[in-house]
Amino acid sequence: MYRIRTFNKISPVGLNRLDPALYTVSDSETDEDAILVRSAKLLGYDFPKNLLAIARAGAGVNNIPLDRCSEAGIVVFNTPGANANAVKELVLCAMLMGSRDVDGGIQWVRQQVASGVDVTTVVEKGKSAFTGPELYKKTLGVIGLGAIGSLVANIALSLGMDVYGYDPFLSVDAALRLDRHIHVVKDINELYKRADYITIHIHYTKDTERMIDAKAIGAMKRGVRFINLARGEIVDDDAMLAALDTGWVAAYVTDFPNNRLVGAPHVLAMPHLGASTPESEQNCAVMAVDQLRDYLENGNIRNSVNLPSVSQERSGVCRLCLLHRNVPAMLAGITTLLSRDGINVENLSNKSRGDYAYTIVDLSAPADQSVIDEVTALENVIRVRVIR
């Protein structure tokens, strides 16, 4: 029986995929085997020794201490792409609201009514203050062409926009998702100098912190409209506010409000609405639960953010799952101990990621506990699981 602890409300559509004969789910479980979480901060959480995995129902994992998890052999999953459609739709909304002052116009109409004016007599004169350009035949720059960025780029083409994309880590799968009419550039400055609108869809890391700074903004076209539904820390607020003051940036739409931004003109700040749809929450929950279940029951790792992804069809009668440091001769040491016990290795998969590696070994017969203990005791082995 696996014990799952939830730290946020997880959609029952996902939780219902857990077999009650194999799992118990609680929001107050102690000594849990796995965690399902959305936005709750686990940075200071004291993980139990038997914790095997954390599944984040969403993409961002800055609420989880990844280094500490890796050292403890805890696999951290996220759900890339599960909320992509929801974010894509909000990007479209952001581009439209960043073009025409829809929000300002709505507030103005309400103010007229509140002041006792017959609004029908003033709208024609008043509307000129809220006009703005169409998207048609404008150029959109998309920074990051992953699950969300590729959807945004493709749909912008159908709006009649010219689209430039930049992603130095563009995967083959992502490239195949892109319409052939999208201009993928190798130099981000090529995108900056052409785009009337820019939307960013990258992860927040130490390398991307304040990536959109004064230098980057200075390389953009005057009057650019910038959309940030990725992470607030990617944009240097000081530089953005200065550019808004001069008109170099015409509008800044962000999903990450703070008091400085909310009070500034030409800023549209939303309350982190990117993935806030029931469909997105269900998709994230289903994906998180499925990945967690596959790891607990089969040892397969898919979409881990801290350890290598390894999946293998079940064969043999016993499976060993080993998390270890990525150092020479580890596989030789493991297979030597297994062969000494006369057990045939039916299948083996191994992948590394940075300082860590993960090995799945399917055996033709159950391994003796003494052999398991010897494998566990090998230097640089972090965690060993036996799945029968």
pLDDT of residue 84: 94
Cα–Cα distance for residue pair 336/330, rounded to 1 Å: 10
pLDDT of residue 205: 86
Pairing of strands 53-56, 75-77: parallel
Read off the pLDDT of each residue in 334-347 and give the average, rounded to a whole number. Answer: 84
Give the 3-state secondary structure of residue 325. strand
Give the pLDDT band (50/70/90) at residue 171. confident
pLDDT at position 342 over 80: no
Model pTM greater than 0.75? Answer: yes
pLDDT digits (tens, 9 = 90+) for 109-168: 999 999 999 999 999 999 999 999 999 999 999 999 999 999 999 999 999 999 999 999
pLDDT of residue 30: 78
Cα–Cα distance for residue pair 278/10, rounded to 1 Å: 11
pLDDT of residue 203: 87
Q: Count Cβ atoms within 10 A of the Cβ of residue 194 and give its class: 0-12 exposed, 13-18 middle, 19 or more buried.
A: middle
Cα–Cα distance for residue pair 148/96, rounded to 1 Å: 18
Give the pLDDT band (50/70/90) at residue 41. very high
pLDDT at position 29 over 80: no
Q: Count Cβ atoms within 10 A of the Cβ of residue 278 and give its class: 0-12 exposed, 13-18 middle, 19 or more buried.
A: exposed
pLDDT of residue 136: 98
Cβ-Cβ contacts under 8 Å for 345 (sequence gap 6 or more): 335, 338, 339, 361, 362, 363, 364
Cα–Cα distance for residue pair 358/216, rounded to 1 Å: 39
pLDDT of residue 10: 93
Choose between 62 and 186: higher pLDDT.
186
Read off the pLDDT of each residue in 184-207 and give the average, rounded to a whole number. Answer: 95
Cα–Cα distance for residue pair 16/14, rounded to 1 Å: 5
pLDDT at position 341 over 80: no
Q: Could you tell me what percent of the chain has a pLDDT over 70?
A: 100
Q: Taking every pair of C-alpha atoms in the chain, what is the biggest distance, in angstroms?
A: 92
pLDDT at position 52 over 90: yes
Residue of 54, 95, 96 whose CA lies nearest to 77: 54
pLDDT digits (tens, 9 = 90+) for 2-25: 999 999 999 999 999 999 999 999
Q: What does the mean pLDDT of the chain come to?
A: 94
pLDDT digits (tens, 9 = 90+) for 84-118: 999 999 999 999 999 999 999 999 999 999 999 99
pLDDT at position 35 over 80: yes
Q: Could you tell me what percent of the chain has a pLDDT over 90?
A: 85
Return the minimum-mean-pLDDT range out of 12-21, 65-74, 169-178, 318-327. Answer: 169-178
